[in-house]
Structure 1
Amino acid sequence: MRDPAQSLPFPPPTGLSDEAARSLEQRPPEIHFPEADDYAGWQKLVADWNAEAMARLSEVLKEPQSDSREIDVDGVHAYVVRAADASDRKAVQLYFHGGALIFGSGESCRLEGTFAAASSGLETYAVDYRMPPEHPYPAALDDAITVYRRLLDEHEPRDIVVGGASAGGNIAAALLVRAYDEGLPMPAAAVLLTPGIDLTESGDTFRTLAGIDELPPTMKAIYQLYAAGRPLDDPYLSPLFADLSHFPPTYLQSGTRDMLLSGTVRMHRKLRAAGVEAELHVGEAMPHGGFGGTPEDEELNKEIRRFVVAHTRSVARR
């Protein structure tokens, strides 16, 4: 990643809000990945990044008003979050945080869950899934299926929405692939935000947007750490390469400066070709993860809530 003081390769386009234009000027610090066998180095990177991410989020985003509590779901740590302005939906959301499959645990997970609850309007189960270097694949997906099974015990499938951002979009989509393989019913809908669903980095924007998006030019070192020797094109690792014909209605979001745009576009086309209802929302000049609390982000949040309302039930009235 670039030095934060370095000028942008391209200036913000006209038409953006002032807040979004300013956010493009903020560049994250450079990240150097340790060697594959440098266990202590990976632990330090994770700890440093988590602290940095929390500091940045606290600076640019105001946490939505919500109630949250920690829970244990058959050995899996999670947070249950309900926004102060929660909708009257009967459904709950199963949500997976971002963080390149190694970052975003603990308080970061809870905080991201509050934003997911606010945008969807649903009571949200934010899963603090296990990650490398201590817990490579399949730990995260095992945690995901464990919590999904519990929610299926407590809710009808049509009252569950599965969502995730970035790496969490990978886990959410992989969960749907594995759940189908294990004979479990599909949820009411899926919400995949800038999803990292192609760990092979085969899409066009991995090249054309390298050095423009804030993501590193490649994250193969992390993906290989996560995969623990499994091929990166395995559908449980890269859900883009799975049979998607069983997927529920799916909301997909990315941006024109998001290096993961290609994977999101390809996922949309593949879902549509399989006859699955799918929406694709692309933000002008939006980098990976969005601008951070700007009018453009709020517009997308309204679209998420609209999608959720269209595919879930209201609480029964007496």
Structure 2
Amino acid sequence: MADDVRGAEALLVPARFIPLPSHVSDAARAYLGPFPELQAYPGIDDLDAWRAYVNSSEQAILPLLRHINGRAAVTSEVETRAVGEAGVFLITPRDLPAEDRGVILEFHGGGLITCAGELCELMGTGLAARLNRRVWAVDYRMPPDHPYPAALDDGVTVYRALLQERAPQEIVVSGGSAGGNLAAAVMLRARDEGLPLPAGVILNTPELDLTESGDSFHTNLGIDPGLRSLMPVNLLYAGGHDLSHPYLSPLFGDLADFPPTLLTSGTRDLYLSNTVRMHRALRKAGVPAQLHLLEAGAHTGFPGSPEGDEINREISRFLEAVW
């Protein structure tokens, strides 16, 4: 995202208060403020500082995820498996019918650098409980120690392994935020490598453009609580590769033959442009694509709210349609 957009092709808007909308639920309003204080990014070459940044970020997130999703763990059976260099949490709801063979291959969010290990497992068990579906949650390698293409390599390796156990039509690939980037990038590379593609793809508030060229990176900056430009992280993740390459920014890829896709975002999401541009690009490529936007929705939506439940119902309908 450009730091200096002054000039004839930019608008100067007045400082103003943005009210919290009264027509959304109390649970949704709670997500919209006050904003948390965010850590400063380390210098791009200071890997020790990045390791400390990742650790402190994960320690801040962990209690919240344990509170939100910890109880979901008792409703599922979890098996841990190593697949290549990645870890995978195989999560099966205890009351899932034996004949249900569908698997959601899930790539966790976390800005491409956080939410490994227990955090990945908690996100996966929460997803399995909300949708009552079997989940393979991919614990992929991340910077600062494992920049691109490590995470993408892991994703493709796990997808290949899943194809040994399930037919493509029994698989849906999913990801939110940074996980949406990987879900889409894995699909592009799987197609390029001649692998059969899954029944569908779910992209929740996805980070599909690491160049941050979309309009909402400016219009929703400071309005989306807790999310800002991730450009230093994007550069760390890319490891010197071109940010516009489709395996890094799937928005710019050839989307021919992409699977049917459901996309979600909100009107306050910093990644709103990513989502709506990807939706239009998919439609232009002839891919069946659904777009669901939440009024006042911030990045990651409104989990645990009536609005979040609406999105979960749409995802369940999508799964039923493609499976």
1:154 correspondence with 2:133: no
State the match for 1:23 in structure 2. 31
The offset of 1:9, in angstroms, is 4.6
| In 1: Cα distance, 2:48 partner to 2:79 partner | 31
What's 1:56 paired with?
64
- Matched residues in 1 for 2:39 and 2:96: separation? 37
Q: Check if 1:256 corresponds to 2:267.
A: yes
Moved over 3 A (4+): 58-63, 84-89
For residue 84 of structure 2, what is the aligned residue in structure 1? 74
Q: What's the secondary structure of 1:286's corresponding residue?
A: coil
- Equivalent residue, structure 1, for 2:308: 297
Deviations 1:14-60 (A, max 9, x none): 22111111232343221210001111100000000011111233345
Aligned residues with identical type, % of pairs: 49
Q: Deviations over 1:112-143 (max 9, x none)?
A: 11122234432110000000000000000000
2:38 match: secondary structure:
coil
Q: Which residue of 2 aligns with 1:186?
A: 197
Conserved 8 A contact 1:130-1:143: yes
Residue number in structure 2 paired with 1:117: 128
1:216 positional shift: 4.1
Q: Does 1:233 align with 2:244?
A: yes
Question: Matches of 1:217 and 1:23 in 2, distance apart?
Answer: 15
Q: Which amino acid aligns with 1:168?
A: G
Query: Which of 43, 68, 84 is the aligned partner of 1:35?
Result: 43
SS across alignment from 2:158:
helix
Asked if residue 282 in structure 1 is aligned to residue 293 in structure 2, the reply is yes
CA distance in 2, matches of 1:299, 1:63: 21
TM-score by length of 1: 0.92
Q: State the AA in 1 paired with 2:229.
A: T
CA distance, structure 1, for counterparts of residue 94 and residue 67 of structure 2: 22
Q: Deviations over 1:160-216 (max 9, x none)?
A: 110011000000000000001101011000011111000000000000000011244
Inter-partner Cα distance in structure 2 for 1:20 and 1:251? 22
191-200 or 62-71, which moves further after superposition? 62-71
* Structure 1: runs of 5+ lacking an equivalent: 1-7, 313-318
Looking at structure 2, the residues matched to 9 and 79 of structure 1 have their Cα atoms a distance apart, in angstroms, of 44
In the alignment, structure 2 segments of 5+ residues that lack a partner are 1-15
Contact 2:303 2:309 in 1 (8 A): no
Q: Give the 5 Å matches for 1:127-276.
A: 127-276=138-287
Question: Which residue matches 1:4?
Answer: none
SS in 2 for 1:24: coil
**Partner residue in 2 for 1:316:** none
Q: Calculate the TM-score normalised by the size of structure 2.
A: 0.90
Q: How far did 1:292 drift?
A: 2.7
RMSD over equivalenced CA pairs, Å:
1.6
2:254 is paired with a residue whose SS is: coil
In 2, the alpha carbon distance for the partners of 1:74 and 1:254 equals: 33
What is the CA deviation profile of residues 77-123 of structure 1, one whole-angstrom value per residue up to 9, with x for unaligned ones?
A: 11011234546642111110000000110111001111222344321
| Change in 2 beyond 3 A, CA 1:33/1:193 | same
Distance 1:11 1:66 in 2: 40
Give yes or no for contact 1:24–1:291 (8 Å, CA) kept in 2. no
The offset of 1:230, in angstroms, is 0.5
> In the comparison of the two structures, how many residue pairs are matched?
305
Alpha-carbon distance between aligned partners in 1 of 2:306 and 2:227, rounded to the nearest angstrom: 26
Aligned partner of residue 285 in structure 1, secondary structure = coil
1:315 aligned partner: none
Rounded to whole Å, the distance in 2 between the matches of 1:159 and 1:171 is 20
